[in-house]
Homo-oligomer: A and B are copies of this chain.
Amino acid sequence: MQEEMKDAKAKILLVDDEPDILEIVSYNLKNEGYQVYTAENGEEAIKKAKKKKPDLIILDVMMPVMDGIEACEKMRRISELDHTVITFLTARGEDYSMIAGFDAGADDYITKPVKPRVLVSKVKALLRRKDNTAPAASNITKLGDLVIDRDQYKIIYKKEEMILPRKEFELLSLLTTKPGKVFKREEILDVVWGNEVIVGGRTIDVHIRKLREKLGDDSFKTVKGVGYKYVK
């Protein structure tokens, strides 16, 4: 029950020049537990956005003083709003404004006229999406100046991104699952090659060598007669 709370207090900035719309929409959003701020033009919107750092900004395209597109562009340059979702409100059929909107850095758009219910569910969806996007649940191992990203099949070594061939990556990946532990040659073959395949005796060495070339000699220690280990 309490995890429903997290987006319950999401802050939303609603920007439209028609007070009626502001009122009806903000009423509905507040009903859902959101904290709603409003602005009647782009300028005001930017001020409030800076101050409140909302999670979501709903921006009407057509507005006096500063239109939605312009406001959006400006807001996108404000780094505090990096994680803010911006969506446009646009009249149906105005495709050009949709494209312009994306160009200005919007994340989505909602077409008018819109029913409160629909808008609310849309807002929910957007905030949900935001949550999912942020904490990319990737499986990453960090060891000193080496970062191993198993999702992206890449590593970062001394701030430098590099991609390794598959076997090298998997070998490294294995050794670093337990730094310091000595992996027997047999173990390595099992995991990296699969115990059906039979490869010659020097194959592992060659791969170790390549890793040493790329990641520095001293990280890979040989334990004669047994196998290899990775040390920071």
Chain B neighbourhood of A178, CB < 8 A: 136, 151
Residues of A within 8 A of B (CB): 76, 79, 82-83, 95, 99, 102-103, 105-111, 114-115, 117-118, 121-122, 124-125, 133, 136-140, 142, 147, 151-153, 156, 159, 161, 163, 165-166, 178, 180-182, 223-226, 229
Chain B positions within 8 Å of A223 at CB level: 153, 163, 166
A111 pairs with B136, CB closer than 8 A: yes
| Docked-complex contact B136 and A117, CB < 8 angstroms | no
Query: Is B138 a contact of A181 with CB atoms below 8 Å?
Result: yes
Known: A147-B102, A180-B152. A224 touches B165 (CB 8 A): yes
Q: Do A142 and B182 have beta carbons less than 8 Å apart?
A: no
Pick the contact of A181: B133, B152, B225 (CB < 8 A).
B152
Knowing A107-B142, A166-B226, A181-B151, the reply to whether A118 touches B102 (Cβ < 8 A) is no
Are A108 and B138 in contact, with the CB atoms below 8 A? yes
> Which residues of B sit under 8 angstroms from A163, Cβ to Cβ?
223
B107 close to A225 (CB less than 8 A): no
Asked if A142 and B102 make an inter-chain contact with CB atoms under 8 angstroms apart, the answer reads: yes
Considering only CB atoms, which chain B residue lies closest to A103 in the complex? B159
